Chains A and B, each alone.
Chain A
Amino acid sequence: MTTHKSEVLVIGGGIQGSSTAYHLAKRGVSVRVLEKDTVSRHASGVNAGGVRLLGRNLAEVELSKTAMERWQQLDDELDADTGFRARSLINIAADETDMETLRSREQQMHELGYFHEVMLDQHELRERLPHVAQHCIGGVVSEQDGYAIPFHSTQAFRIAAERIGAIFCEGEQVQSIRKVGDSWLVATETQKYQAEHLVNCAGAWADLISVMIGDNVPMSYSAPMLMITARMPHFATPVVGAVSRPLSFKQFENGTVLIGGGAKGFADRANNTTRLDYSLLASGAHHAIEFFPIMKTACINRMWSGLEAYMPDNLPVIGKSIRADKAYHAFAFSAHGFQLGPVIGEVLADLITEGESRFDLEPFRVNRYERKVL
């Protein structure tokens, strides 16, 4: 049997893996992506599509800001339609406690020199969201934020990468990984692959790949749920979130409204599937109506969830393997990795071709939980 050789082997055909392949191919590196199902089959294809800089954990702000710059040009760069629309994102404050939370966040951000989050008073909020409920007293906005169509965005990276030489192999589930000499040897059910560098972008299955590489990681996985309505009259331009309620929605140009909020269903990773928790979706519906009474009569058309990976601190793992040379990780984005996709590919390409990244990756190291009691 022939062994397929490339300089880099990426495991996982989600947005991180596809973006990594694109950036490597752009630098003339030969790269192959192994995807156990089909490209963007899981979280990368079915997430809420939020392109969000607002409210980022401080460790992620720099990465997220750079990613946001990339998103503004991404369609041109990839010569594709990712569906990206900069519509702004507003987090709504429902009471004085929420406003207090926002004020202390604002102070903290200003001290660090970040000014992209701008507070809104009740009047400004209502101007931007005329249909918001009376009891909402303010909020915070990030103007550059918006949404994209996740399946199209991930496919855009894949197609652009293929155009410049990257190879995507679908239906190839990794069964074993060995390091022999300076080479990584990866076997699937029917094929063998060899590469100098190995990248783990395996999403909800990344802990299993990690273990094969030699890094233990306390990753978990879950099934965040979403629902989308049939078309309704236009009532909200910005993407909407809430400071302290599990609410998040966006109205697309075709009038459909995508409602998220982080409620989780049940993940069945072994069977590639999820089960929904309808009572939690019911409380999500309740919050949506509470903030936007106009949504009372909105008709839910579909409900679904995807398999997503989480770390205990809700921060991703990004960076070099600790135990093995020339292996790299980018996974467990904890339900906010989609926006980072364009920059993560750059970071991994830098690590592989330059040996380092210009971003501080310390908070994301794979062994940050070693010796900690969880």
Chain B
Amino acid sequence: MINNIETPSINNSYDIAIIGAGPAGMSAAITATKAGARVVVLDDKPRSGGQIYRNVDASPLAKPTVLGADYLKGSEITAAFKRCSAEHISSVNVWHAGDNGELLFSLEGETQRLTARQIIVATGAMERPFPIPGWHLPGVMSAGSAQVMLKSDGLVRDGAVFAGTGPLLYLIVAQYLRLGVKVKALVDTTPKQNYLSSMSEITGAMSAPRMLIKGLGLMNEIRKSDTKVYRFAEGLEIQGEEACKGLSFSISGSKHEIVTEHVFLHQGVIPNLNMTQALGLKHTWCEQQLCWTPETDNWGQSSQGVIAVAGDSSGIVGAESAAAMGRICALRQLVNIGLITEQQADHEAADDLRFMRKQQHFRRFIDRLYRPLDQHRKPTNDQTVVCRCEERTVKDLKQGFALGGREPNQLKSQTRCGMGPCQGRMCGHTVSELLAEWRNEPVADVGYYRLRSPMRLVTLQELSRFTNLTPVSTVDRASSGTSDSDVEANKEQELAQ
């Protein structure tokens, strides 16, 4: 009796699941819900905004204005996000995402499972590892964590040294100064030649004059203060045995040492790769940004049909481009699930696509100017720790390489480098680049770790309690045409026209 068989419902599934509530994730959710999609947004922070707009509408600071106008502007998008109909599940770690649309995450001590027809990965960026001697010692942190402390808890470190290169480094120093916090020194590792080589991209940078002015303004602000600034520093080393006692470096051959117990390091950001890698998406080595990036088309579509990647997790683009990419990804997926037509998507994405093309020129300039030094990415000192979780040094890796660990996974099995709880976040890029150097081959041929879920630690108890999560609003759209076969029908109609 075929007639009695119920049509299987997809109402207990989401249309689009978005991982990450930064600019990319939030704007994707706003766009997708506007078109009537059932959207869930999962984020590991208590409030939306991502790293860049962390706590923008709940700042612990008396005068959040010190954080800058660009930061405060974030409250516009977080407000729009709150108004949209997306379900926002905050403070959860998505520890598994599958190319079949399955997501697993821990919530209140249990594992929750949900399914979605499409997934947008918008997990943002992380700071590039800075593997120099002593970088693992207590007292050494990243400039990003200085900013997290400031934005979340209003905490600062007096008399710290900031070292490295990149806009975020200057921004946090400026923020410290505005708050009246003493900064002992800024040790800038941007090499002289970068200023020269980036000039070839200066015309491109002119396409985004506001960004350029903002950057120069930060530097001026720092110079005007009484903060000691060292430029063209190289050969950075943290001094101390058990904890940080100082920072040493050289400038055109002469040695310097600053006594301090707090060093904040930073040399740019790279995509947060663990989810896109564990999903099995194709990745390529980006020589311009010196990092692995998932392969995507202009619409953020990855090598796997149902997965799109938006924002910095697709390659560093910055907050404004991330928001544009979020909208573009959402439009593509709305076409995929049949809620809008391709023409609608083309029309609505046109401005954003144009904006992103323009931004690419500026990005080339920035990437050239703040390209980190080889010696600060590919450690040569035998004692330098590469894998912080398992405490594996350059020497350990060289031994593993000699024993046949020629690619990252073999080296991992051989030495345990990358086996710890961070899942290779902190050593993956270093290992790829070191192996490429030792093999004298391109990084692209060396590859990256084969990653697996869980992307975050999950307790046995959490895993053992397993429940399914379904959408709160079960909009019945069975009659209004949302099935994948309707998409085909739409396409046929378009062809007929």
Contacts and interface: CB of A to CB of B under 8 A. Distances in A.
A289 B461 contact: yes
A285 B461 contact: yes
Contact of A300 (B407, B413, B458, B466): B458
Contact of B461 (A45, A159, A230, A296): A296
B446 to A, nearest CB: 13
B469 to A, nearest CB: 14
B13 to A, nearest CB: 17
Interface stretch (A139-147, A276-284, A314-322, A326-334): A276-284
A299 B421 contact: yes
B461 A278 contact: no
Contact of A155 (B414, B421, B423): B414
Contacts of B96: 278
B461 A301 contact: no
A40 B466 CA distance: 34
B463 A281 contact: yes
Interface string B454-486: 100111110111100000000000000000000
A296 B459 contact: yes
Nearest to A46: B413
Interface string A32-65: 0000001110000100000000000000000000
Contact of A282 (B98, B453, B463): B463
Contact of A151 (B407, B413, B421): B413
A303 interface: yes
Interface string B92-122: 0000101000101000000101000000000
A236 interface: no
Given A230-B457, A282-B464, A299-B459, A276 B104 contact: no
A302 interface: yes
Nearest to B111: A282
Contacts of A282: 111, 463-466
Interface residues of B, number: 29
A286 interface: yes
B407 to A, nearest CB: 8
Contacts, number: 80
Interface string B273-303: 0000000100000000000000000000000
Nearest to B104: A278
A278 B414 CA distance: 27
Nearest to A297: B459
Contacts of B466: 278-279, 282
A229 B404 contact: no
Contacts of B463: 278, 281-282, 285, 300
A281 B410 CA distance: 26
B185 to A, nearest CB: 37
Interface string B413-431: 1100001110100000000
Interface in A255-310: 259, 273, 275-276, 278-279, 281-283, 285-286, 288-289, 295-304
Contacts of A273: 280
A279 B457 CA distance: 17
A303 B453 contact: yes
B399 to A, nearest CB: 12
B198 to A, nearest CB: 41
Contacts of B111: 278, 282
B421 A230 contact: yes
B421 A301 contact: yes
B460 A295 contact: yes
B414 A229 contact: no
A275 B102 CA distance: 12
B457 A300 contact: yes
Question: What range describes how many residues of A lie at the interface?
Answer: 20 to 34
Contacts of A278: 96, 102, 104, 111, 113, 453, 463, 466
Contacts of A289: 460-461, 464
Interface string A139-183: 000000000000110010001000000000000000000000000
B219 interface: no
A78 to B, nearest CB: 13
Contacts of A151: 413-414
A276 B453 contact: yes
A289 B464 CA distance: 8
B464 A286 contact: yes
B199 interface: no
A168 to B, nearest CB: 9
Contacts of A288: 460
B416 to A, nearest CB: 9
Contact of B403 (A155, A229, A301): A155
Contacts of A297: 459-461
A304 B413 contact: no
B313 to A, nearest CB: 21
A303 B452 contact: yes
Given A45-B413, A155-B414, A278-B104, A298 B452 contact: no
A186 B442 CA distance: 32
Nearest to A259: B460
A303 B455 CA distance: 10
A302 B460 contact: no
A278 B454 CA distance: 10
A300 B454 contact: yes
Nearest to B420: A301
Given A230-B421, A301-B420, A303-B452, A159 B403 contact: yes
Nearest to A300: B458
A285 B106 CA distance: 14
B458 A299 contact: yes
Question: 10 shortest A-B CB distances, which residue pairs?
Answer: A299-B457, A285-B464, A286-B464, A151-B413, A285-B463, A282-B466, A285-B460, A296-B461, A298-B460, A304-B452
14 contacts: A40-B413, A151-B413, A230-B420, A259-B460, A278-B453, A278-B466, A279-B466, A282-B465, A283-B464, A288-B460, A289-B460, A295-B460, A301-B457, A303-B453
Interface of B: 96, 98, 102, 104, 111, 113, 280, 403-404, 407, 410, 413-414, 419-421, 423, 452-454, 457-461, 463-466
Given A38-B410, A299-B459, 13 more contacts: A40-B413, A155-B403, A230-B457, A278-B453, A281-B463, A282-B111, A282-B465, A285-B460, A286-B464, A289-B464, A298-B460, A303-B452, A304-B452
